[in-house]
Amino acid sequence: MRSLCAPSKPLHRCWIWGWCLALAALFGCAVPVNPAANSTPTLSPRLALAFAYFQNGQYRVALDESRKVLETQPNEPQALGLQGLIYARLNEPALAERSFLRAEQVAAQDADLAHNHGLFLCEQNQFPASFERFGRAVQQPLYADKSKTFWVWGVCAQKSGDETTAQSLWVQSLALKPSAEAALALAQSYQQQMRSVRANEVLNTINSTPAATPETLWLGIQWARKNADEVALKRYAVQLQKRFPTSSQWDAFQREAYDD
Using one digit for the tens of pLDDT, what is the confidence trace for 50-89?
Answer: 999 998 999 999 999 999 999 999 999 999 999 999 999 9
Say if 13 falls within a structural domain.
no
Residue type, position 143, single letter: Y
Is the Cβ–Cβ distance between 236 and 224 less than 8 Å? Answer: yes
CATH code, 147? 1.25.40.10
Residues in the chain: 260
Say if 69 falls within a structural domain.
yes
Percentage of the chain surpassing pLDDT 70? 84
Q: Binning pLDDT at 50, 70 and 90, where does residue 24 land?
A: very low
Does the pLDDT of residue 13 top 70, yes or no? no
Q: How far is 22 from 93, CA to CA, in rounded Å?
A: 21
Q: Binning pLDDT at 50, 70 and 90, where does residue 8 land?
A: low
The half-sphere exposure of 27 on its side-chain side, counting CA atoms within 13 A, is 21
> What is the chain's percent helix, strand, coil content, to nearest 5?
65, 0, 35
* Terminal-residue alpha carbon distance, the chain: 29
Say if 5 falls within a structural domain.
no
- Structural domain span for residue 167: 19-178
Say if 96 falls within a structural domain.
yes
Does the pLDDT of residue 254 top 60, yes or no? yes
Helix and strand element counts for the chain (H, E)? 14, 0
Say if 259 falls within a structural domain.
no
**Strand partners for 63:** none
Say if 201 falls within a structural domain.
no
Does the pLDDT of residue 32 top 80, yes or no? no
Say if 206 falls within a structural domain.
no
Rg of the chain over all Cα atoms, to the nearest angstrom:
20
pLDDT digits (tens, 9 = 90+) for 156-214: 999 999 999 999 999 999 999 999 999 999 999 999 999 999 999 999 999 999 999 99
Residue type, position 243, single letter: R
Say if 59 falls within a structural domain.
yes
Domain count, the chain: 1
Mean of the per-residue pLDDT values of the chain? 85
